[in-house]
Structure 1
């Protein structure tokens, strides 16, 4: 059976229920897509938890950056991944280990092994979708500020 992303309604439910989003590969460089997407999600009311071994211990978007998912001292709802496809299976294993609810591979990132690991671990998998775009489409008034 081939992989299928959740429906828009299912994605809406995922986003409504989400609070903490760990962003794997979040850059501290403001011109990077990972930074811009995470900043937009933070402005919409989500808690962003940066994960980047090169920036561990630093602050990104006002939050402490961790070297890996296992270092995060609190529950994670969504693991949002900004890494090349070949690294995603390992990220999926870490996400399963911390009992995240959703593995979300950003636009342009597809890894069937990672999706299978996620689903076998009870997580929802989403691939090749931008969380910022999906959030804007499904949650136009989440922050009370209207559409961004």
Structure 2
């Protein structure tokens, strides 16, 4: 998959709320430290993992699924295996009307699910890391508010 730097930067700067599917409470898991990095840059992170319901992460209650989110979400960031992607994308398309982006983390791709989302006008990024792209295109230490002018 090839994405222009301008496209990736636009996605990262227009996004404010990210539902992270498969995020872990384990500090050593990539899903946790990527989410923490993004939270520290000003993004609201809504954690989605049925195994952690009843816990909080970055001041947000864990949701069992995307259908439990009652706030507008700009991006769904997927930290799940390939075979889980179609159900995540289906739930995102059904329950998140303001969704603009589905982002599949490194090693995660699903052409059919991506095509389904793109047909609905959703931007899809596959096999990329939000943290890596943020650092590369915006900067590791720059807070999101400074990066987008407010």
Which residue of structure 2 lines up, in the alignment, with residue 14 of structure 1?
11
Measure, in 2, the Cα distance between the counterparts of 1:115 and 1:103. Answer: 8
Structure 1 residue runs of 5 or longer lacking an equivalent are: none
Measure, in 2, the Cα distance between the counterparts of 1:118 and 1:7. Answer: 19
User: 1:29 Cα shift?
Assistant: 1.1
Structure 1 residue runs of 4 or more that deviate by more than 2 Å after TM superposition: 141-146
The superposition leaves residues 58-107 of structure 1 with CA deviations (integer Å, 9 ceiling, x where unpaired) of 10232111011111110100100000000101111111121211010000
Compute the TM-score of the two structures, normalised by the length of structure 1.
0.90
**Local SS of the residue matching 2:77:** strand
Residue 87 in 1 paired to residue 84 in 2? yes
The total of aligned residue pairs comes to 143
Measure, in 1, the Cα distance between the counterparts of 2:67 and 2:136. Answer: 31
Farther-moved stretch of structure 1 (118-127 vs 136-145): 136-145
Measure, in 2, the Cα distance between the counterparts of 1:49 and 1:77. Answer: 11
Q: 1:92 to 1:5 in 2, by over 3 A?
A: farther
Equivalent runs, 1:41-60 vs 2, <5 Å: 41-60=38-57
8 Å contact 1:51–1:69 — kept in the other structure? yes
Structure 2 residue runs of 5 or longer lacking an equivalent are: none
The two structures, once aligned, show a CA RMSD in angstroms of 1.6
Measure, in 2, the Cα distance between the counterparts of 1:93 and 1:143. Answer: 29
8 Å contact 2:13–2:144 — kept in the other structure? no
User: 1:57 Cα shift?
Assistant: 2.8
Compute the TM-score of the two structures, normalised by the length of structure 2.
0.89
User: 1:6 Cα shift?
Assistant: 3.2
